[in-house]
Amino acid sequence: YGYDGGYGDYGQGGGGGGGGMGPPGGEGLSMEYYSMTCPYAAEIVRDVVSAALAKDPTLAASLLRLHFHDCFVRGCDASVLLDSTKAHGTAEKDALTNKSLRGFEVIDAIKAALEAQCPGTVSCADVLAFAARDSVYMAGGPYYDVPTGRRDGSLSRADDTSALPAATLKAAELIKVFVGDHGFTVPELVALSGGHTLGQAHCANFKNRLSGFGKAGNGVDPTLEAGMAASLAKTCKAAGDGGTAKLDATSNAFDVEYFKGLQTRRGLLTSDQTLLTGSPETAMYVNQFAESPDAFFETFVQGMGRMGQLDLNPDGNVRLNCRALN
């Protein structure tokens, strides 16, 4: 994939903690974290992700989403990967909102390859960060360095997934969650929402836009383009809550089509379209990113850097199997 400069030149002049680069709060992370203990960690991840995406390009969206759903619940600690058990109860992955998560078997394959080379060394939380980065790049998005050293947590509770932003949130509520609660900037919120340039959503998450509007309460969301609304209604009538629609026109390519779609009222979720119609502050960046892939990519990388450092768990360990506690 012509990764520029390969992996050899990590952290030049960066020193241990990455030389104060990137968002604050990453003191525990470093570009050099595995340089002595598992120098080929990044390549091992890349090879498994590359093979998985060659077989099924839709997994790029799934692997990016796993990292996001991990970091927004208890921080980036791979809690999303733990299986439910009798002893510990229902885990995050079995919560209603996470039922559609996929890609767990890709993470298992990456972990098995890492364990074969460097036993007990690379955390599952770092695997998620690497796999998200590689997925974005292989789908045509930006390449960025991932600092490592995250630790895996020991708690995973379905109830905690209430921390994930719902598909029905409006701009003001999204700003509260991303900016107020997690310290992102508004442009980072818009760029990270642009992760919906990849993937699809289920009717359960957008059927709220297909009825209940207008004086009589039987109209569709006026911010949804009429032809698209009719087509979505047909899909959901035929397939129920499990029916799916693409989040943008090019759902396996990491591009600015998502933002161009918002400009023509073709955002799929309430939380997508509201970025244009719900707040002048977010709309400004929707329009900027639609015009400039460079601006989108750069801001997305900033946002991913901040997301990958949310609420790091200093007391965690390195799980040997990402699905189970050691």
pLDDT confidence band for 27 (50 / 70 / 90)? low
157 and 107 in one domain?
Answer: yes
187 and 155 in one domain?
Answer: no
User: Which of 70-74, 105-109, 215-219, 225-229 bottoms out in mean pLDDT, i.e. has the lowest?
Assistant: 215-219
* 37 known member of a binding site: no
27 located within any domain? yes
pLDDT confidence band for 325 (50 / 70 / 90)? very high
13 located within any domain? no
* 196 known member of a binding site: yes
* 197 known member of a binding site: yes
Tens digits of residue pLDDT in 131-163: 999 999 999 999 999 999 999 999 999 999 999
Task: List the domain range (segments joined by +) for residue 204.
Answer: 171-305
6 located within any domain? no
* 319 pLDDT more than 50: yes
pLDDT score for 12: 32
176 and 129 in one domain?
Answer: no
pLDDT confidence band for 213 (50 / 70 / 90)? very high
Structure tokens at 51: 């093979």
159 and 176 in one domain?
Answer: no
* 94 known member of a binding site: no
Which amino acid is it at 114? Answer: L
pLDDT confidence band for 1 (50 / 70 / 90)? very low
Active site residue 69: yes
* 231 known member of a binding site: no
* 108 known member of a binding site: no
* 6 pLDDT more than 70: no
pLDDT score for 23: 41
Residue showing tokens 């390969």:
6
207 located within any domain? yes
Residue of 67, 69, 182, 202 with catalytic role: 69
325 located within any domain? no
* 14 pLDDT more than 70: no
pLDDT score for 9: 33
Residue 59, CA distances (Å) to 14, 44, 101, 310 in order: 33, 18, 10, 24
pLDDT score for 28: 81
pLDDT confidence band for 123 (50 / 70 / 90)? very high
Tens digits of residue pLDDT in 218-249: 899 999 999 999 999 999 999 999 999 999 99
- Mean pLDDT of the region 207-214: 94
pLDDT score for 217: 84
pLDDT score for 216: 84
* 10 pLDDT more than 90: no
Domain count along the chain = 2
194 and 153 in one domain?
Answer: no
280 located within any domain? yes
Task: Kindly report the average pLDDT of the chain as a whole number.
Answer: 92
Contacts of 74 (CB under 8 A, 6+ apart): 153, 155, 156, 160, 311, 313
pLDDT confidence band for 26 (50 / 70 / 90)? very low
* 225 known member of a binding site: no
* 88 known member of a binding site: no
Last residue of a domain, one of 132, 163, 194: 163
145 and 190 in one domain?
Answer: no
250 and 185 in one domain?
Answer: yes
| pLDDT cut 70: percent of the chain above it | 92
Tens digits of residue pLDDT in 35-44: 999 999 999 9
234 and 112 in one domain?
Answer: no
Tens digits of residue pLDDT in 273-303: 999 999 999 999 999 999 999 999 999 999 9
243 and 145 in one domain?
Answer: no
* 277 known member of a binding site: no
* 18 pLDDT more than 70: no
pLDDT confidence band for 19 (50 / 70 / 90)? very low
pTM comes to: 0.91
* 141 known member of a binding site: no
| pLDDT cut 90: percent of the chain above it | 90
